[in-house]
Each structure stands twice: as C-alpha cells, then as structure tokens.
Amino acid sequence: MPNTDVRAAGMADRDLVVRLAFGSMAAHTLRAAIRLRVVELVGDTPRRAADVAADAGTEAQPMTRLLRALTGLGLLREHAPDTFTVTPAGALLDPGRPDSLTSFVGMFTEPAIVRAWEHLDDSVRTGDVAFDTLFGTDFFSHLAQHPELSAGFNAAMSQAVAETAAVLPYAFDFGRFTTVTDVGGGDGTLLAGVLAAHPGLNGVVFDTARGLAEAPTTTARHGVSDRCSLIAGDFFRSVPGGSDLYLMKSVLHDWTDDQAVTILSHCREVLPPGGLVLIVEPVLPEVVDTTADVDVLDGGITYLSDLNMLVNVGGRERTRKDFEELCHRAGLSLTSVTPLAEAAPFSLIEVVAG
Ligand SMILES: C[S@@+](CC[C@H](N)C(=O)[O-])C[C@H]1O[C@@H](n2cnc3c(N)ncnc32)[C@H](O)[C@@H]1O
C-alpha cells in the first residue's frame, strides 16, 4: 500500500532534503579521497580500482566503493567496470595543482571545525561560540597553540583566496595608490597577486606571527619579496601606518560587531588624507534571494559560512546596512559596494574617513 504522506511531499522536495542530509557524508568522502591520494593515483588514463588500492595500500573492494562514490559525486568517471579516470572537478583534489582545493577541503572537514558544527543548535539557542565552549579557547588562539593546524588553515585560506587574487588586481584601480597593507593578509597570496600585477605598488602583509608563517615563501614564489614587508602584530591593538590603501579580505566576518569596529577604528587611526579601506567580503541582500536559478547549496554557501562563523569564531556575514553601521561607528563611511562578479560571492566595499 503506497505511503500517501511520502507521495504528498513530492519527489523533488524529498530529493532535496535527502541530498542535504547526505551533505556531510559527501564532504567526508572528499576528505578520504585526499588522504588516500586517490586523484593522483587514478589520473587521466583509465585505471583499475585494484591497482589504485594496491598503490594506496588499501583493501581492493572498499577502494572500489570509494571510487564509485566519488564517481557519483562527479569527481571520477567509471569507463568500464572498476576502471576509472579523474574528471576536471576531481582534478582539483590533486595537491600538486596550483588551483588545488585539497587544503580547503581538509580545513572544512577538519575534526575540530566539524565538532563545533555538532553544537549548532546550542549556538543558535544561546548565541555562544560552540568552538570556544568545546575547546576552552577561541579559534585563532587554538591555531596559535597548534602549528600544524595553523599551517593547514593558512594553506586553506591561500587556496580559498586564489580566485580573488586572480581577479582583484584588474577589478580595482590600484594605480592611484603607492602602498597597500593587507590587514589579516595571512600567507600573502592576495597581496602577492596584486603586487605582481602592479609593479609600481609596494605592500605590507599584516597578520599574527602564526598567520605570517608561510608568507615569506608565498611572496618569494610570486617574485614580490622586494616590494612586500611582513609585519607581525595584533589588529586589536593597532594597525601599522604608512599605507594609503588598507585591504581587508574575509577578516571582519570572523568577529563580532564590537570587535569589527575596533579593527576598523585602528585602520581609521592610520588612514592618511585621500586614503581608502577596501573590504572584500560577501554582502548579503536584505532578503535571501531564492529566485536565482542556482543549485540550492551554491546559493546557500554564504549563509552556511555565516553559521560557520557563529559556531567556530563568533563572527557573521553582513548586509550593506551592517557594514555601513560598523564603518559609521569607526569614524569611517562606506562609499560603494561593487560585486566581484568573477569571484562571487565577494564584493568590493570602499570605505573612506568621515
Ligand atoms: C579568515 S583569515 C583571512 C586571510 C586572508 N585575508 C584571506 O582572505 O585569505 C583571517 C586572518 O586574520 C588573521 N588574524 C586573526 N586574528 C588576528 C589578530 N588579532 N591580528 C592580526 N591578524 C589576525 C588570521 O591569522 C588570518 O590570517
């Protein structure tokens, strides 16, 4: 006898909920693939699962099952029974590629981050940061105490920012500035991209000592070390002066409104006449846009990032009004918001003194 309740829900609706419920399993399938070097071992020419298993040092039958799951997720292709190649999307799980996303996947499936997500309902109930409750310290202090995790985080941020680093140098008029400081600039990937495209510009990456650990290698790799200083410090105490442009990507969303105002106020203190603060973050619409014909997860990524900020760091994603309010409180004023179309969902938020 058919279950009419199930049928009434409609198959598309059921598919959506089932797909979303399996989301974390998909993420962990990617994590396992990276740890077992599946993409490097499968490669571009059809390879048998048993050979991949032998090279990876695993049992053959579970490896076949992993390869088939990856095929179902669009990351491999099965040409003949048990014979696979890597798809263009799967190739992004090769750590050797310049556009690799292995560290990015590693960080968002990292047990510490996933554990905080298990307490999302508690964070929604109380507003407390689940990570802090679980670990007895905040996320960035935890990174400072765990160098390996911190290196993984820096690598993940570097991979995450690579797309913006390729687009930003041509999407903004850097030519009117002489020196740009990237506040919370991490391993320097973004600033290195900007400096490489603008030979007349000098730069400073400002971050914690741990955040800067990989920056000398990054700036050297991009051939910009001679024009890029690295300054270690704490943006809750001060931001170094001497620049006419202060760039800040994916920093304010890590913090509460009060903390974000403190960071912006320190930028304001050192901003020279004619200087600019350029914030690069997603700008949420006032109402969630569900009209766009996009995959539901794609459309929802920034809202999931918002929840990630809630459970892991205590920050939030913001609307234009939210950014205006923060700037106003810091003695700054927001003059424009320009979506960075080729690096969605980011926007360029221009802010001046006043
Ligand atoms: C989410 S990451 C963004 C990194 C980089 N801007 C990007 O978009 O890839 C935030 C950065 O803020 C840095 N940070 C955290 N607390 C800081 C502090 N108190 N002072 C300076 N930098 C800090 C972190 O080390 C990290 O590099």
Q: Domain coordinates of the chain in residue numbers?
A: 4-93, 102-353
Report the distance separating Cα 107 and Cα 98, nearest Å. Answer: 18
- Could you tell me the two tokens for 92? 């992004």
Q: Whose C-alpha lies nearest to ligand 1, atom 3? A: 250
| Cα atoms in the Cβ-side hemisphere of radius 13 Å centred on 17 | 6
Mutate which of 113, 143, 249, 251 for ligand 1? The one with the most ligand atoms within 8 Å of its CB, which is 251
Per-residue pLDDT at 4: 53
Catalytic residue among 146, 253, 266, 328: 253
Cα of 186 to ligand 1 centre, how many Å?
6
Is residue 253 part of the annotated active site? The answer reads yes
User: Matching CATH topology for 4-93 and 102-353?
Assistant: no
Per-residue pLDDT at 3: 53
- Could you tell me the two tokens for 153? 């985080």
- In ligand 1, which atom is closest to the CA atom of 154? 27
CATH 3.40.50.150 fits 102-353, yes or no: yes
Residue 68: closest CA among 44, 92, 88, 52 = 52
| Strand (E) or helix (H) holding 283 | strand 276-284
Cα of 185 to ligand 1 centre, how many Å?
6
Per-residue pLDDT at 298: 55
Query: 4-93 architecture in CATH?
Result: Orthogonal Bundle (1.10)
Report the distance separating Cα 111 and Cα 109, nearest Å. Answer: 6
Residue-by-residue pLDDT tens, the chain, 354 positions:
555 555 556 778 999 899 999 999 999 999 999 999 999 999 999 999 999 999 999 999 999 999 999 999 999 999 999 999 999 999 999 999 999 999 999 999 999 999 999 999 999 999 999 999 999 999 999 999 999 999 999 999 999 999 999 999 999 999 999 999 999 999 999 999 999 999 999 999 999 999 999 999 999 999 999 999 999 999 999 999 999 999 999 999 999 999 999 999 999 999 999 999 999 999 999 888 776 654 444 568 899 999 999 999 999 999 999 999 999 999 999 999 999 989 989 999 999 999
What is the bridge-based pairing of β-strands 179-183 and 76-80? Answer: unpaired
